[in-house]
Amino acid sequence: MAKATHDKIIEVAQELFNRNGFGGVTTSEIAQTVGIAEGNLWYHFKSKRALLEAINLEFIRCSEARMAINPGDGFVLDEFVDFQIELSKEVRKFRFMYRDQADYGQHTPELERELPRIYDRTIEQYRNFILKMRDDGIIGISPPDVEMLCHVLVLIFRYGLEFLRESHIKLPGDAGPITMSVRFQALVLSRFMPRQYVEEFEALLLKKLSSPELSK
Amino acid sequence: MAKATHDKIIEVAQELFNRNGFGGVTTSEIAQTVGIAEGNLWYHFKSKRALLEAINLEFIRCSEARMAINPGDGFVLDEFVDFQIELSKEVRKFRFMYRDQADYGQHTPELERELPRIYDRTIEQYRNFILKMRDDGIIGISPPDVEMLCHVLVLIFRYGLEFLRESHIKLPGDAGPITMSVRFQALVLSRFMPRQYVEEFEALLLKKLSSPELSK
DNA sequence: GTCTATATTCAGATAGAC
DNA sequence: GTCTATCTGAATATAGAC
């Protein structure tokens, strides 16, 4: 039962933190949900903060892997959509960490140090994709607009889930929140494309976003 | 000193909540900052929650006034920029309330009830401006894209400040965060305009965003 | 209206038996 | 490794003097 309880605690805590925020979840609540005594919690993690650190580290490790994704030899729009889906999974899985940093306590010094770098590298990833699209003649865009566009797209991704959740807005179609984020970005990005690529892009999104795991 | 202390408490609390969130500010901290004994706080507000309610109500009242703004008889781009500046002031002033709703306790039932309506009406405002722009031949846009565009613009406004704060991103130019939000939106919106209006829009932004109170 | 002193509550954490 | 019992400290709130 050694590893099992340890992992179960992390899993449950992450789930609860995602739902109610770090400060909005008590250790008693975590223990209860896991189905163990609260005292047992302190055997596995010496403090609530240590539990947070474990999750923070997993997040850093996970985003490190995602940040290695870059445009390759294939069709760039195809690769771009795959990248977005990867990013969307990360945002969903670590929702509470991607959440308001003003909720103090939510971020360890470790994460606090890493976050600007994660943002920078994510912007850079978008830049790589956008420049590739430009070089391949798929979009027409000026250098200063490239920078603005990267930032706008990251902003949409970062906050798309929160926006849909808190606004209770229902958009036409029965698309899930992640699908919606991708479509928001598509609206912006496709305005830089000639018509034939817009249609191709649309078709790609339609195909790749139909996976049931994305409509949750 | 009756009204003065009461108002000072609200003012200080709002400032602190904006900085650290509702849960991240203690009543002791508020009293200390105001320069009164903590006991005195409970004379003016029977609970921390009552203090929050007072601020929440002021927010609802304030946004009610802003939501009455609609395109009039003037040049729609001019009116649109004025509207955005009004909205930006509201977002800045009530930052902590516009913040993550997962920070439980931050929202009274009253606000919880009003928020979806505030979102709906804000979307509607954007829709009114966009349709007016379309009708005046300033932008070309399809009906389904109108809906998407409204949502994307509100998303950018709602989260622009948070994004810039938490990403520590520095964009070219010495623009303040609010200026940045407006420019992000302009990037998206101007892609629907013919060239001559893009330039006119740019000129308007340059003129209206130079106010020193917006560069904070 | 404002203060000081005190009560209440509960989340986070420890100790030690099993 | 897991439990029960208990402690600590901080934040919210009350009581009553001035």
CA distance B131 to A88: 32
- Please state, rounded to an integer, the average pLDDT across all residues of chain B: 91
pLDDT at B112: 85
Residue with CA nearest C1' of nucleotide D15: B39
Query: In angstroms, rounded to a whole number, what is the distance separating the alpha carbons of residues A21 and A184?
Result: 26
How confident is the model at residue A104, as a pLDDT? 67
pLDDT(A174) > 80: no
**CB contact (8 A) between residue B115 and residue A166:** yes
Structurally, at CATH architecture level, domain A1-46 sits in Orthogonal Bundle (1.10)
Structure tokens at B141: 């846009």
- Does residue A198 surpass a pLDDT of 80? yes
Contact, B43 CB vs strand C, < 7 Å:
yes
Contacts of B54-58 with CB under 8 Å at 24 or more apart are B54/B10, B55/B10, B55/B13, B55/B14, B55/B17, B55/B94, B55/B97, B56/B97, B56/B107, B56/B108, B56/B110, B56/B111, B57/B110, B58/B10
Q: How many CB atoms lie within 10 A of CB B211?
A: 11
**What does the alpha-carbon distance between residue A98 and residue A92 come to, in Å, rounded to a whole number?**
9
Span A37-54, average pLDDT: 97
Distance, in Å, from the CA atom of A16 to the CA atom of B36, rounded to the nearest integer, reads 38
- Residue B179: per-residue pLDDT: 87
pLDDT of residue B103: 66
Please say if the pLDDT value at position B1 is more than 60: no
Model pLDDT, residue A10:
98
Q: What is the CATH number of domain A60-214?
A: 1.10.357.10
Contact, B38 CB vs strand D, < 7 Å: yes
Tens digits of residue pLDDT in B3-51: 899 999 999 999 999 998 899 999 999 999 999 999 999 999 999 999 9
Residue B132: pLDDT band (50, 70, 90) is very high
Judging contacts by C-beta atoms under 8 Å, the chain A residues touching residue B119 are: 166-169
Q: Which of A20, A171, A191 sits opposite B147 (nearest CB)?
A: A171
Q: Which nucleotides of C are covered by protein (CB under 7 A)?
A: 1-5, 10-16
**Do B9 and B45 form a contact (C-beta atoms < 8 A)?**
yes
Q: Is the pTM of this model over 0.85?
A: yes
> Residue A103 gets which letter from DSSP?
S
Q: Looking at residue A102, what is its pLDDT?
A: 61
pLDDT mean over A155-162:
91
Helix and strand counts by DSSP (H, E) for chain B = 9, 0
Nearest chain A residue to B155, by CA: A163
Give the number of other Cβ atoms within 10 Å of residue B52's Cβ: 22
Q: Give the gap in angstroms from C-alpha A1 to the nearest C-alpha of chain B.
A: 33
State the count of interchain CB pairs (< 8 A) between A and B: 133
Choice among A187-201, B64-78, B103-117, B175-189 with the minimum mean pLDDT: B103-117
How many Å apart are A35 CA and D3 C1'? 12
pLDDT band (50, 70, 90) for residue A100: low
Domain borders along chain B are: 1-46, 60-214
What is the pLDDT, as a whole number, of residue A71?
97
State the pLDDT at residue B108. Answer: 86
Query: Measured at the alpha carbon of residue B64, what is the angle toward residues A21 and B157, in degrees to the nearest 5?
Result: 50
Q: Of A23, A163, A187, which is closest to B159 when you measure between CB atoms?
A: A163
Residue B172 has pLDDT above 80, yes or no: no
Residue A175 pLDDT more than 80?
A: no
Residues of A in contact with B169 (CB under 8 A): 119-120, 123, 151
Taking only Cα atoms into account, the Rg of chain B, rounded to an integer number of angstroms, comes to 20
Show contacts of A45-52: CB within 8 Å, 24+ apart.
A45/A9, A49/A105, A49/A108, A51/A9, A51/A10, A51/A13, A52/A17, A52/A22, A52/A105, A52/A106, A52/A108
Task: Name the minimum distance, in Å, from the CA of B186 to any CA of chain A.
Answer: 10
Q: Are A141 and A192 in contact (CB under 8 A)?
A: yes
Which 190-209 residues of chain A touch chain B by CB within 8 A? 191-192
Place of tokens 């250790």: A27
